[in-house]
């Protein structure tokens, strides 16, 4: 393997001919992109978040765990990003808008993060999984009734993109009309740019603020009320921060996980029961986490001091992107990793350290039901395009099939 070396005096900003990070989430063969980067640079590779905005991409399992677990050296708060501090990245740029500092569980560190994390952890601990399952089945039934009535559908935009956010909106206390409004705002956030995207994001925040005010006045049996009842007496700002990040970002992760699982069932013979496949919805979802995770790259951390990682000189203020899929692939080739869970690499998707996903159990319940209900009710479902023509759309961090156009050869009534 030929690895390009850098000297101690070279800075990330001075390196040239770098690969855009977006290639790792939109390529038809992302594993080849990661392997090319690893061959050229080793386990820590320079990439471009957008033109003129470089970052380090972590491709080694040991290096990944170091970044995720060491909050004292690798912070999530983008106020520590040198390119944001010096104006290289502006608030109106694509990556600047996404990574701008925010007061939310995914965006802060230290005492503030631990406080918000306790609010979310304790609220999720209180979830009645039977109720969660019933709500998920309710929204699946509504969505599937609509697509079955037509005989054709795009399972990404007409099913998988809708149900998770509707479920979580209901769990947090929004009624059906408000849940649909949240879904509409979310679609605009992820489709629009600039002023239109900010307007949709503000509409989401306004809806959540109204919900918090309503639950302050009249608590109910929902996650927002559970957070408000927390013994730490959270402020409205605390609750807004906890609810916004968990509801909005968590739902987007679910969309990716579900759509990738449906893609496997439709496009890969190993997962298709009609051609001898026997894997369940749970098995398929587990396979997705190990081979095509919905978040191939985690949100960047920012170095708080000069350090060395994977043989690279990391300077204070550098952005460091945890490459979840890249590190997972690297782990398969090295069996001496002390952090490696034997026989299971999918845990990497959930992260590690202070910012590990707080919603692993409810996310799993929702995904299993959404995929399982589709498989149960969509008898004879067939892709209307060749499997090899399916392409991915994604951000720097997420990868989702652009569409899954299908037709139904037989209809199964709801039971």
Would you report the helix, strand and coil content of the chain in percent, each value rounded to 5? 55, 10, 35
What's the pLDDT at 325? 86
What's the pLDDT at 63? 94
d(CA 31, CA 35): 6
Exposed, middle or buried, 188 (CB in 10 Å: 0-12/13-18/19+)?
Answer: middle
Report how far apart, in Å, the C-alpha atoms of 367 and of each of 160, 283, 293, 359 are.
Answer: 9, 12, 13, 12
For residue 239, pLDDT beyond 90: yes
Q: Supply 410's token pair.
A: 């037989």
d(CA 34, CA 28): 12
What's the pLDDT at 163? 93
For residue 120, pLDDT beyond 70: yes
First and final C-alpha spacing in the chain: 56
Q: Could you give the dihedral angle defined by the CA atoms of residues 215, 218, 219 and 223, in that order, rounded to the nearest 10 degrees?
A: -30
Mean pLDDT over 240-267 rounds to 84
Tell me the DSSP string of 71-124.
TTTEES-GGG-HHHHTTSS-TTSHHHHHHS--SSTTT--HHHHHHHHHHHHHHH
For the segment 70-108, what is each residue's pLDDT rounded down to a tens digit? 999 999 999 999 999 999 998 777 788 788 898 888 889
What's the pLDDT at 39? 92
Mean pLDDT over 355-372 rounds to 90
Mean pLDDT in the chain?
A: 85
Task: Give the least confident one: 56-65, 68-77, 121-130, 388-397.
Answer: 388-397
* 40 neighbors 50 (Cβ within 8 angstroms): no
Domains of the chain listed by start with CATH number: 12-408 (1.10.630.10)
What's the pLDDT at 343? 40
Mean pLDDT over 157-178 rounds to 91
What's the pLDDT at 246? 80
Mean pLDDT over 304-324 rounds to 95
What's the pLDDT at 9? 47
Buried (b) or exposed (e) across 308-341, using 16+ Cβ within 10 A? ebbebbbeebbbbbbbbbbbbbbbeeeeeeeebe
Mean pLDDT over 169-178 rounds to 92
Report how far apart, in Å, the C-alpha atoms of 267 and of each of 259, 270, 386 are.
Answer: 12, 9, 8
Which 3 state secondary structure label does DSSP give 402? Answer: coil
Residues 6+ apart with CB under 8 A from 37: 19, 45, 47, 57, 59, 326
For residue 409, pLDDT beyond 70: no
* 202 neighbors 83 (Cβ within 8 angstroms): no
* 345 neighbors 332 (Cβ within 8 angstroms): yes
Q: Tell me whether strands 319-322 and 53-58 are parallel, antiparallel or unpaired.
A: parallel
pTM for the structure as a whole:
0.86
Which H or E run includes 319?
strand 319-322
d(CA 205, CA 182): 10
pLDDT category at 345 given cuts 50, 70, 90 is low
d(CA 122, CA 353): 18
Report how far apart, in Å, the C-alpha atoms of 66 and of each of 59, 196, 227, 253 are.
Answer: 12, 38, 31, 23
What's the pLDDT at 3? 54
d(CA 39, CA 32): 10
Mean pLDDT over 349-377 rounds to 87
What's the pLDDT at 182? 86
Closest to 286 measured CA to CA, from 302, 308, 264: 264
For residue 413, pLDDT beyond 90: no
DSSP class of residue 156?
I
- Beta-sheet strands, E only, within 112-161: 152-154
Tell me the DSSP string of 320-332.
EEEBHHHHHHHHH
Q: What percentage of the chain carries pLDDT values higher than 70?
A: 87
DSSP class of residue 309?
E
């Amino acid at each position: 393997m030929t690895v390009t070396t850098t000297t101690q005096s070279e800075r990330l900003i001075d390196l040239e001919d770098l690969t855009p990070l977006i290639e790792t989430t939109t390529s038809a063969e992302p594993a080849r992109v990661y392997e090319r980067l690893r061959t050229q640079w080793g386990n820590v590779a320079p990439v471009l978040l957008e033109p003129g905005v470089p970052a380090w991409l972590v491709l080694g399992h040991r290096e990944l765990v170091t970044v995720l677990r060491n909050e004292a050296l690798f912070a999530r708060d983008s106020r520590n990003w040198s390119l944001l501090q010096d104006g290289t990245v502006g608030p109106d740029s694509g990556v600047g808008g996404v990574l701008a500092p925010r007061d939310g569980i995914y965006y802060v560190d230290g005492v503030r993060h631990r406080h918000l994390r306790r609010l979310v952890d304790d609220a999720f601990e209180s979830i009645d999984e039977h109720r969660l399952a019933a709500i998920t089945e309710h929204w699946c039934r509504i969505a599937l009734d609509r697509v079955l009535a037509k005989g054709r559908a795009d399972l990404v935009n007409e099913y998988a993109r809708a149900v998770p956010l509707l479920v979580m909106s209901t769990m947090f206390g929004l009624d059906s009309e408000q849940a649909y409004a949240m879904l509409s705002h979310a679609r605009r956030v992820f489709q629009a740019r600039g002023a239109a995207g900010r307007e949709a994001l503000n509409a989401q925040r306004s809806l959540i603020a109204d919900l918090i005010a309503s639950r302050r006045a009249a608590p109910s049996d929902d996650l927002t009320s559970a957070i408000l009842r927390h013994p730490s007496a959270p402020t409205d700002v605390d609750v807004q921060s906890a609810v916004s990040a968990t509801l909005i970002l968590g739902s987007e992760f679910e969309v990716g996980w579900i759509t990738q699982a449906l893609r496997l069932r439709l496009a890969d013979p190993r997962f298709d029961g009609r051609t001898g496949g026997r894997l369940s919805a749970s098995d398929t979802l587990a396979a997705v986490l190990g081979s095509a995770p919905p978040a191939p790259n985690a949100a960047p951390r920012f170095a708080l001091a000069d350090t060395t990682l994977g043989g690279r000189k990391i300077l204070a203020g550098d952005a460091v992107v945890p490459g979840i899929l890249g590190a997972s692939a690297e782990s398969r080739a090295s069996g001496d990793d002390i952090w490696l869970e034997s026989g299971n690499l999918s845990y990497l998707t959930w992260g590690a350290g202070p910012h590990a996903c707080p919603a692993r159990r409810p996310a799993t319940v929702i995904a299993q039901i959404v995929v399982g209900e589709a498989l149960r009710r969509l008898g004879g479902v067939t892709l209307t395009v060749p499997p090899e023509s399916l392409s991915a759309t994604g951000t720097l961090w997420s990868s989702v099939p652009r569409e899954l156009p299908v037709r139904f050869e037989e209809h199964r009534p709801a039971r």
